[in-house]
């Protein structure tokens, strides 16, 4: 098993259970020194895609999953690893039990562009379902988004 830090729609335990049925939630934590942002607007059909970038003044809430090898392969497909959209990066996550090393998917594209309102809603709902603090989900809902027709 390897530890995966979910920061996007995979924060939803229901979604992760469907995508990775053999990979239990281990807990939650934060990625200190990282910021949730968006990029690769030209790769998505619904605006810019979520990713994380280093930012010493920020932190990102994550769900931590013990991912089996079979589930990892399935998740790689869901996340477009084989398409070159994302790559894996091992980073340190902070939990109440101490720091752990986990991998995340990082967008392999330039930062910039706006996500759709639909995507922001999905991310905020996933954050709430995953146990994120209320202000974290509210901040997601309040982010700028692309207008219909952009």
The residue segments making up the domain with residue 113 are 2-141
Q: Is residue 147 part of a domain?
A: no
> Phi-psi region for residue 96, left (φ > 0), alpha (ψ -120 to 50) or beta?
alpha
pLDDT tens for each residue of 27-82: 999 999 999 999 987 776 678 999 999 999 999 999 999 999 999 999 999 998 99
For the chain, how many structural domains are there in total? 1
Q: Is residue 150 part of a domain?
A: no
Q: Is residue 38 part of a domain?
A: yes
Q: What is the domain-level CATH number for residue 123?
A: 3.10.490.10
Q: Is residue 57 part of a domain?
A: yes
Q: Is residue 149 part of a domain?
A: no
- Please report the pLDDT score of residue 135 as a whole number: 97
pLDDT tens for each residue of 76-101: 999 989 988 899 999 999 999 999 99
Check: CB of residue 44 under 8 Å from CB of residue 101.
Answer: no
The total of other beta-carbon atoms located within 10 Å of residue 55's CB is: 14
**What 3-state class would DSSP assign to 15?**
helix
DSSP string spanning 68-81? -HHHHHHHHHHTTG
- Please report the pLDDT score of residue 44 as a whole number: 64
Check: CB of residue 116 under 8 Å from CB of residue 146.
Answer: yes
- Please report the pLDDT score of residue 148 as a whole number: 62
Residue 150's pLDDT band (boundaries 50, 70, 90)? Answer: low
pLDDT tens for each residue of 113-140: 999 999 999 999 999 999 999 999 999 9
- Please report the pLDDT score of residue 47 as a whole number: 86
Q: Is residue 148 part of a domain?
A: no
């Amino acid at each position: 098993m390897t530890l995966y830090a979910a920061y996007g729609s995979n924060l939803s335990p229901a979604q992760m259970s469907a995508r990775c049925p053999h990979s239990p939630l281990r807990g939650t934590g934060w990625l200190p020194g990282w910021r949730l942002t968006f990029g690769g607007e030209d790769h998505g059909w619904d605006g810019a895609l979520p990713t994380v970038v280093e930012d010493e003044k920020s932190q990102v809430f994550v769900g931590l999953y013990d991912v089996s090898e079979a589930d990892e392969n399935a998740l790689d497909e869901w996340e477009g690893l084989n398409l070159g959209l994302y790559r894996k990066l091992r980073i340190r996550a902070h939990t109440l039990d101490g720091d752990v090393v986990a991998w995340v998917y990082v967008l392999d594209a330039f930062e910039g562009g706006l996500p759709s309102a639909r995507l922001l809603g999905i991310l905020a709902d996933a954050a709430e379902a995953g146990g994120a603090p209320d202000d974290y989900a509210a901040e997601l809902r309040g982010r700028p988004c692309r207008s219909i027709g952009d």
